[in-house]
């Protein structure tokens, strides 16, 4: 029997309970630690920094599997439920996961809003700099982008990271007239794309890259093409809490099954 170690905080308890329950449903024995993980064993970490990054590296060197969890790519709280993203090895879209059919994306996202390039400023989404060194934004990246745009006579609005923002509804207001948005790798960038606001990004391999355009100076023409390839990948990287708790999410990621479509009746 394979073992699983889940490096998630005790609180919120429902998150840890769901991850433990989902892996146990697939037959994994939940352990607090493993001195010598084997290839069939699984380590679950939240993001990759500090202790979790060190432990993930140790497991990988022994050939074991590492699942990196983070909040869902359109936010943890979405569609009246709780969502988390899962991938092997890395986060923010740089990991590996199995992509099933387009049906799941069509069910989750319906139709994104039509592209609408407004006449207002370019909104820059600030980053908190949490994560592995390979993924976080370079120091003062947003401030450098702001100076670049102002030098090009492009109006700019800096938007605080949601974790530091007491007014989450302000994101909708900020995007309502925006001509574009710029992010290193944020979920706010995905929300902007869904709202029809073109996005430029900084992090290579960002989860939203296929629905946006890489930032460059001078600012290139925005991407206003087909967003479904991006949404297709996101739909199979992001899972509802109950899909994690009953094992469906881990079954899809670990066992490479046929498409495990979301069932609202379950």
CATH number of the domain bearing residue 184: 3.40.50
pLDDT of 264: 35
Domain-located, residue 113 = no
Please enumerate in sequence order all residues whose Cβ is within 8 A of that of 13, keeping only pairs 6 or more positions apart, or say none. Answer: none
Same domain, 75 and 129: no
For the whole model, what pTM was predicted?
Answer: 0.89
| Angle CA 136–109–125, to nearest 5 | 30
Two tokens at 210? 């296929």
Domain for residue 207, yes or no? Answer: yes
Q: Are residues 221 and 133 in the same domain?
A: yes
State the pLDDT at residue 171. 80
Q: Would you say residue 199 lies in a domain? A: yes
pLDDT value of residue 256: 56
* Phi and psi torsions of 36, nearest 5°: -130, 75
Tell me which residues of the chain have a pLDDT lower than 50. Answer: 258-266
Do 190 and 219 belong together in one domain? yes
pLDDT at 184: 94
Buried b (16+ CB within 10 A) or exposed e, 195-233: bbbbbbbbbeebbbbbbbbebeeebeebbeeebbebbbb
Count structural domains, the chain.
2
What pLDDT is stored for residue 182 in this prediction? Answer: 97
Domain with 68, as residue range(s), is 3-100+237-255
152 domain-assigned: yes
Q: Are residues 167 and 201 in the same domain?
A: yes
What pLDDT score does 170 carry?
73
Q: What is the pLDDT of residue 263?
A: 41
Clarify whether residues 132 and 216 are in a common domain.
yes
219, 117 contact by CB (below 8 A):
no
């Amino acid at each position: 029997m394979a073992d699983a170690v889940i490096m998630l905080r005790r609180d919120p308890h429902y998150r840890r309970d769901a991850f433990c329950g989902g892996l146990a449903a697939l037959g994994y024995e939940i352990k607090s630690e493993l001195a010598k993980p084997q290839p069939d064993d699984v380590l679950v970490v939240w993001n990759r920094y500090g202790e979790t990054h060190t432990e993930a590296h140790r497991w990988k060197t022994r050939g074991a599997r590492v699942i990196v969890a983070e909040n869902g790519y359109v936010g943890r709280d979405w569609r009246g439920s709780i969502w988390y993203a899962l991938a092997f090895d890395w986060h923010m879209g740089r990991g590996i996961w199995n992509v099933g059919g387009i049906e799941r994306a069509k069910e989750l996202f319906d139709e994104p809003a039509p592209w609408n390039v407004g006449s207002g400023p370019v909104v820059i989404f600030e980053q908190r700099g949490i994560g592995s060194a390979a993924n976080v934004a370079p120091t003062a990246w947003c401030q450098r982008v702001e100076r670049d745009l102002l030098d090009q006579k492009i109006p700019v609005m800096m938007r605080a990271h949601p974790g530091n923002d007491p007014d989450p509804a302000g994101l909708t207001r900020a995007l309502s007239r925006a001509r574009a948005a710029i992010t290193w790798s944020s979920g706010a960038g995905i929300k902007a794309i869904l709202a029809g606001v073109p996005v430029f990004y900084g992090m290579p391999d960002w989860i939203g890259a296929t629905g946006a355009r890489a930032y460059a100076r001078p600012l290139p023409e925005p991407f206003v093409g087909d967003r479904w390839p991006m949404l297709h990948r996101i739909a199979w990287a992001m899972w509802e809490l109950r899909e994690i708790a009953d094992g469906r999410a881990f079954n899809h990621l670990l066992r490479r099954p046929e498409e495990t479509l979301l069932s609202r009746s379950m």
